[in-house]
Amino acid sequence: MRAYWLGAKECLDLPLEELRRHGVLYETIPVSDPWPHLNRIKAERGYVTEDLVDLNAARPDFEQLGQAFKREHSHAEDEVRFILSGGGTFDIRSNDDCWMRVWVGTRWCLG
């Protein structure tokens, strides 16, 4: 995971404490047995639903799904992202109306 403020003069990584201050939580959990950890997070945060998404280039609708993420949109509820492989970038509006970019994934390959 990497996170930094958009528009900053330097792309300095944000510490986890800064992310938490803006409501962004990050944990690394084992892929081999994720459910006890995911269920704990759901119970602690009061989540009652979950989405399991397999987003990969082999999907016939991959390009169409990607288009949905190109425009700004918001969610009324918190969401949990559990990355099994690959990665993605999320731009998140902070509590004080600034933007942070958060990259999550299974590898540190940002090139």
Average pLDDT on 8-26 reads: 88
Q: Is the pLDDT of residue 111 over 50?
A: no
**What is the CATH number for 72?**
2.60.120.10
110 inside domain: no
Tell if the pTM clears 0.75, that is, is over it: no
Residue 109 pLDDT grade (very low, low, confident, very high; cuts 50, 70, 90): very low
88 inside domain: yes
User: Encoding tokens for residue 46?
Assistant: 């009061």
Domain of 48 in residue numbering reads as: 2-105
- pLDDT tens digits, 59-93: 888 888 878 777 777 777 787 777 777 777 888 88
Q: Please count the structural domains in the chain.
A: 1
Q: Which residue has the higher pLDDT, 73 or 16?
A: 16
Distance, in Å, from the CA atom of 23 to the CA atom of 30, rounded to the nearest integer, reads 23
**Residue 90 CB neighbours (<10 A):** 14
What confidence score (pLDDT) does residue 110 get?
44
Of 32, 29, 34, nearest in space to 50 by CA: 34
58 inside domain: yes
Residue type at 110 in one-letter notation: L
Distance, in Å, from the CA atom of 99 to the CA atom of 91, rounded to the nearest integer, reads 6
Q: Which residue has the higher pLDDT, 108 or 89?
A: 89
